[in-house]
Structure 1
Amino acid sequence: MADVKVAVKILSELKSFVMQVASQEVVLDCFRRSNRDFTRNRKLPFDRLVLLIAKLCKKTLSIELEQFFKELGLENGCSVSAFTQQRIKLKASFFHWWNQVLWQSYYHYSGESTKRWKGLRVIAVDGSNISLLNTPALTKHFGGQSNSHGNFTQAKTFYYYDVLNELVLYPRIEPYRYGEVQMAYEGISQLSADMLVIYDRYFCSYKMFALHLWAEQPIPFIIRGNENQRMVKEFITSGKRSEIVQLAPTCPAIASLKKSGFIITPKTLLEVRLIRVELEKTVEVLVTNLTEANGYSDDQFKELYFLRWGVETNISVQKNIMQLESFSGLTVESVEQDFYATVFMANLHSVLIKDAQSTVNQLSKHKKYPMKVNRNKSFGKLKTSLVSLFIEHQPEQILLILHGHFIRDTLPVRKNRTFARIRKNKPGRSKHRTYSNYKPAC
């Protein structure tokens, strides 16, 4: 069980990071509001607080606290007020960096078993809106939108998602009016040359091409062409399967790149490749800097672009299974903590089910459909074991028990199924919503 050994090493790295932050004043200062925070002996010191938030409190807080301290083996817990006061001291950025420790440890310890496409990590990019309660503090910070029915407070989230290894690398949460394209521009500096980044049509622009091509090391990309763009219309009309084209910048592109530190003229041309993809009812165009001369043939791109759907699935898991939009607090800090903690738990869950998925693949070889681990049930089992995984010195036994649960709860994978999208009744005003496609397991 190689993946169990990897999981043990990753858990060790995560524990070490927490202890390092809690024990070193200089490091702790990066994640607390004041140098007086987390200095007194409280029932919720730094290490317990971050573990409790990572547990994703979705029930009444008093019940969550009672259960948490029971799992720690302590009879006396703390009040909801004490928890609220403690979490104010913690910056949400801790969970952002804890998540980086997680996925960097996974790449390091999994080594050659890390999944790649022709040596490249396939990174899908997408954003989403999340609904918040209409409190003055949240509305002031995040904003939202309004219509004839009222005002709606919302935030904008953004993800870089490794679709083959199922890991969110660089999550962000920003005010609702903060554009996804702007976040994509700002995120390019974090990318590396061993990543193949896949974007939807919304990101198709001269500036996006330029920032990838002009990086210190060019970053491979695939962007779905916008059917309203002239180059896309002309290419579809030509009937060609693939073509190398030279693109000149528009005036807005010149001005925008100038703000990013690039001085260009209307004669600054970019060379990209256009690829025709025939679908059942339409024709799509993909824009890329991967050339046929380097071994990337036309017939590879349809399936490759389809991998981008993985980021949509991950967002769905966070919202529907992990109940992302059910926040444990009503402040900006608590919303940001819960968001980054949810991404952290999504990645930890993904890492811990990999060994079980390998076992399921072997067991389902002769079945009609390939099988996969049931994410809803497996996440419920992970939540109930999370505290034990972090407080036990040797978590191998807990991981083996979880492995047994994971391989028993599986679902068939039926590929190439499509369904017409049916608009259902608009949601009511109740605090909780019932979805037809899942039932909470925790």
Structure 2
Amino acid sequence: MARTEIKIGIKIISELKSFVSLIVQNEPLLNNFRKSEKDFTRNRKLPFERLVLLIVKLCKKTLSIELEKFFEELGGQSPCSVSAFTQQRIKLKASFFYWWNNVLLSSYYHHAKQGDIKRWKGFRVVSADGSNVSLVNTPVLSNYFGGASNQSGCFVQAKTFYHYDVLNELVLMSRIMPYRYGEVPMAYDAIEQLKKDMLVIYDRNFCSYKMFALHLWAEEEIKFVIRGKNDQNMIKDFIAGGKHTAIVYLAPVTTAIKSLKESGFITTNKTLLKLRLVRVELENAVEVLVTNLWEEEGYPNSEFKALYFLRWGVETNISIQKNILQLEAFSGLTVESVEQDFYATVFMTNLHAVLIKDAQASVDNNLINRKYPMKVNKNKSFGKLKINLVAIFNDNNADHILEVLHKHFIRDILPVRKDRTFPRVRKNRQTNSKHRTYSNFKPAY
């Protein structure tokens, strides 16, 4: 296999390693990611660069087993104790993994050919959504993150939010907050990070005057598609009228005026927003999409059903994090360790996404005599990546390891059967977690 097939992966790994080296060698930079200036100054078994690598390896087994395996992969050194690891990770700010992920994203968008970055009519399609994450019920986590309770007991949960590039399968922005903060306020906070080449898709929970306004009044207007709520007067009137599309002018209610004032915008009940409504006929229902994509600018009604369906990509990504990467099986019981594991999981999701792109391209180019299109098996490829992660970042011959991974990726493939639908089974929110982690138990196998 030609080295050019994995050249983007090689460049990204090189820049990720350089970022860590730069931090270690530059004390002012290191200060941004450590709790105290005394941290990471002594020669220990888990210096900064080893610690971050161990955390992104995602420790889901008994920590003593994970540490033994990690140090074996480093060359057979005797492992540090679980206590030493716990004390070292306290010194590390979770924000490191957030910024390491930004380095990965910048590197990919810089090195990828423009034709390889998938767009819809020139836009990166960004799906925005939140999710609940179940945590171990300890006083520390309960006091910070909160949660919910019912007659069966108390459930400690955090709230997460994502901006996800659905066509390129990359998490552009992620955040974890206390449960009561809510995904809608996190969406408001995240709008300032959006770029003018992004088209953002939201579900009905985000349909509000304030959400429309913050996109329309951004320094550079951000395009959006938001599923309307069927109980809103604007939506009910449009459905009753039977039109396929319409331009409406929406006035704010009192709560929207107050909320926008808190965000620095002065409005009155005469501050009207120009919006477009688009009717989408489903098999058993009618949905309405609210957007600022205008028909006269080249966005016909027929485009919107398929466009909104792309939003499902963020749901799939959240499922991968929770089910394949076992997000909710956290490796620590402190707020900092939960945040570290969360941002490390997002980082690993993106690293996997960019490293399998060349393999997927090879699979796409070899579909002769196949009944269905094929895709890389993400479950197996994540496993292979985790096994080789230490070698990729700790070996000077990382390109050879990436070649070996590439061969594994193109061998483990699955058929893509399009247009399949399944009824959505809604479970009790507190039983959604696939991994009930207890403070005194982790598997050792």
Shorter-chain-normalised TM-score: which range? over 0.9
Cα deviation, 1:146-189, whole Å, max 9, x if unaligned, reads 01100000000100000011000110000011111101111101
Per the TM alignment, residue 419 of structure 1 is displaced from its structure 2 partner at its CA by 2.5
Unpaired stretches in structure 1, ≥5 consecutive residues? 434-439
Deviations 1:161-219 (A, max 9, x none): 00011000110000011111101111101101100000000101111111000011100
Shift in alpha-carbon separation, 1:206–1:352, aligned structure 2, 3 A: same
> Structure 1 pair 356/282, CA: closer, same or farther in 2 (3 Å)?
same
Q: Structure 1's 429 and 167: CA in aligned 2 closer, same or farther, altered over 3 A?
A: closer
Matches within 5 A, 1:347-366: 347-366=350-369
Contact kept? 1:33, 1:89, Cα under 8 Å = yes
Q: 1:32 aligns with which of 34, 38, 41?
A: 34
Q: Which residue of 1 aligns with 2:149?
A: 146
The equivalent of 2:376 in structure 1 is 373
The aligned residue for residue 437 of structure 1 is none
Say what the alpha-carbon RMSD is for the aligned residues. Answer: 1.9
Q: 1:3 to 1:109 in 2, by over 3 A?
A: farther
Q: What is the aligned counterpart of 2:316 among 313, 316, 331? A: 313
Q: Is the 8 A contact 2:118 2:124 kept in 1?
A: yes
1:394 paired to 2:397: yes
Q: 1:138, 1:153 within 8 Å by CA — same for their partners in 2?
A: yes
Q: What's the counterpart of residue 47 of structure 2?
A: 45
Shift of residue 424, structure 1, vs aligned partner: 8.2
- Give the distance between the partners of 2:306 and 2:433, measured in 1 at CA: 41
> Using the alignment, how far apart are the partners of 1:265 and 1:210 within structure 2?
13
Deviations 1:319-358 (A, max 9, x none): 0000000011111110000000000000000000111111
Aligned-partner Cα distance in 1 for 2:229–2:270 = 23
| TM-score (normalised: structure 2) | 0.95
- Residue 287 of structure 2 is aligned with which of 280, 284, 287? 284
Runs of 4+ more than 6 Å apart: 423-431
419-428 or 272-281, which deviates more: 419-428
Deviation sequence 1:48-78 (CA, Å, 0-9, x none): 0000000000111111111111111142221
Asked whether 1:413 is paired with 2:416, we answer: yes
How far residue 366 of structure 1 moved from its aligned partner, in angstroms, is 3.0
Match of 1:87 in 2: 89
Amino acid at match of 1:114: I
Please state how far the C-alpha of 1:416 moved relative to its aligned partner: 1.4
Alignment counterpart, residue 224 of structure 2, candidates 218, 221, 233: 221
Identify the structure with bigger relative contact order (alpha carbons < 8 Å, sequence gap 6+). Answer: 2
Q: In structure 1, what is the equivalent of residue 100 of structure 2?
A: 98
* 1:194-205 → structure 2 map (5 Å cutoff): 194-205=197-208
Cα distance change of structure 1 residues 428 and 176 upon mapping to structure 2, 3 Å threshold = closer
Q: Letter of the aligned partner of 1:65 in structure 2? A: L
Distance of 2:15 and 2:205 partners within structure 1: 38
Code of the residue aligned with 1:144 in structure 2: it is G
Cross-structure match for 2:113: 111
Residues 3, 354 of structure 1: 8 Å contact kept? no
When structure 1 is superposed on structure 2, of 70-79 and 322-331 the one drifting more is 70-79
Tell whether the 8 Å contact from 2:328 to 2:435 is kept in structure 1 after alignment: no
Distance in 2 separating the partners of 1:211 and 1:218: 9
> Does the 8 Å CA contact 2:328/2:433 hold for their aligned counterparts?
no
Aligned length: 435
Q: In structure 2, what is the equivalent of residue 247 of structure 1? A: 250
The one-letter amino acid paired with 1:28 is: L
Q: What is the alpha-carbon distance in structure 2 between the residues aligned to residue 104 and residue 83 of structure 1?
A: 30
Percent sequence identity over matched residues?
67
Instruction: State the 1:367 CA deviation.
Output: 1.1
Q: Give deviations 1:97-126, integer Å, cap 9, x for gaps.
A: 000000111101103021111111000000
> 1:126: which partner in 2?
129
Deviation (angstroms), 1:420: 3.2
Query: 1:83 Cα deviation (Å)?
Result: 0.4
Deviation at 1:377, TM superposition (A): 0.4
Q: Give the match's secondary structure for 1:111.
A: coil
> Residue 436 of structure 1 corresponds to which residue in structure 2?
none
- Offset at residue 271 of structure 1 (A): 0.4
When normalised by structure 1's length, the TM-score is 0.95
Instruction: Call closer, same or farther: CA 1:424–1:199 in 2, change over 3 Å.
Output: closer
Which has the higher mean CA deviation after the structures are superposed, 116-125 or 393-402? 393-402
Per-residue CA shift, 1:22-46, capped at 9, x if unaligned? 1111000000000000000000000
* Contact 2:204 2:226 (C-alpha < 8 Å) held by counterparts: yes
